[in-house]
Amino acid sequence: MMQVYNLQRQNNNTQKKAKIVLEDGKVFFGFFFGKTKESFGDLVFSTAMSGYQEILTDPSYFKQIIVLTFPEIGIYGVNMLENESDKIYLSGLIVDKYIENDFFNNFDQSFEQFLKKKNCCGVFGVDTRALTEYLRENGSKKCCITFEETSTEEVIKKLNKMTFKNHVKDLKVKKITFFYKKEHLKNKKKVLFYDLGTKKSILDHFIKKNYELFVVSWNFSFSEIKKINPDLIFLSNGPGDPRELVYLIEQIKKAIAQKYFVFGICLGLQIIGLALGFKIEKLKFGHHGVNHPIIDNNNKIFITSQNHDYVLIDDKKINDIEIIFRSGFDNSIEGIKSKNHKIFCVQFHPEANPGPKDMDWIFKKFFNYFQNE
């Protein structure tokens, strides 16, 4: 059975009315679904047409409220095997219509049940096209999902006092979450994996290679790195402004100086870039979606999955560093490497969950560089 919920339910007295208040005073209206509660976060939009479950469980969206531009969400239900983590990290979800669909073979629970169970509030019946156009013209904004009767002026006062900093620290990843013991492995290479808010599908690429794998948090020191003496240091995706992670940047500087292999994805690229001497800027409304073109140095175009609000500024030459990918939308940096291949990072998500698999070969590049050393 499939049911579509949109503005046609506006006269249903059981549906609680919601108000979306932006920091500049702009207000949009809709109806609660999922968990009915007030929620605050940075408001961004994603152009993904599917993969709503992977988006909801991606730690990179921590402290953000997401507008999904695709008009009908929930079409293929919820399958718990598709989760990228064990919880929903974003602060809220805004859609035009949501669909409760229970006729798929891999159906586990309804979309609304999933939101309620994971304590996430959603708003439907919103003119998401108008809201997206507003963000595109005016940039991402701090935002509050609240009740219709709540004072807009009071909400704006709260928003103006709020700052969202050091998201990675707030994720509270343990110092060493786990490791795979060497005696059980065919591959004797050691990988130190900085979990800055990683997606399960990225970590799975490393697990499948049977490395001795150490998964550590952002505050793992260089002295501790030297004790492990890894063949590769990898920095994952994650939320927030990379400039807040001053301690981690200093540790990566030391690792680069000692000629360790250092690779990264998304936030990982930004941390490595800062360690190399690049500067960072915040995009007007970020790159979020699964249809973002990038261009390599041979003018070949790939379609990628992306989720970031910050980019490296291309304002000076960094010794030994080559820019290997650029955005087809705004020419921003999407990939860098060193000429000796000791550094290799990409801004997009090659694991593409959700998204196209155009760039899955990037992991093979990662692994080949240090395995062939």
Q: Which residues are catalytic?
A: 266, 349, 351
CA 220 – CA 201 distance, rounded (Å): 22
DSSP-based three-state secondary structure for 231: coil
What is the Cα–Cα distance from 137 to 283, expressed in whole angstroms?
Answer: 12
Per the DSSP assignment, residues forming a β-bridge with 277 are: none
Q: Is 165 buried (19+), middle (13-18) or exposed (0-12) by CB count in 10 A?
A: exposed
Instruction: Give the residue ranges of DSSP H helices in the chain.
Output: 52-56, 111-117, 128-138, 152-161, 167-171, 200-208, 222-228, 246-257, 267-276, 361-371
d(CA 164, CA 295): 32
* CB of 189 closer than 8 Å to CB of 371: yes
Burial of 111: CB neighbours in 10 Å, binned 0-12, 13-18, 19+: buried
Contacts of residue 120, defined as CB under 8 A and 6 or more positions apart, other chains included, come to 34, 35, 56, 88, 90, 91, 92, 93
96: Cβ–Cβ under 8 A, 6 or more apart, which residues?
A: 6, 71, 72, 73, 124, 125, 126, 127, 128, 129
Give the residue from 223, 196, 228 showing the smallest Cα distance to 213. 228
- 7 secondary structure, DSSP code: G
| Cα gap 164→23, rounded to integer Å | 13
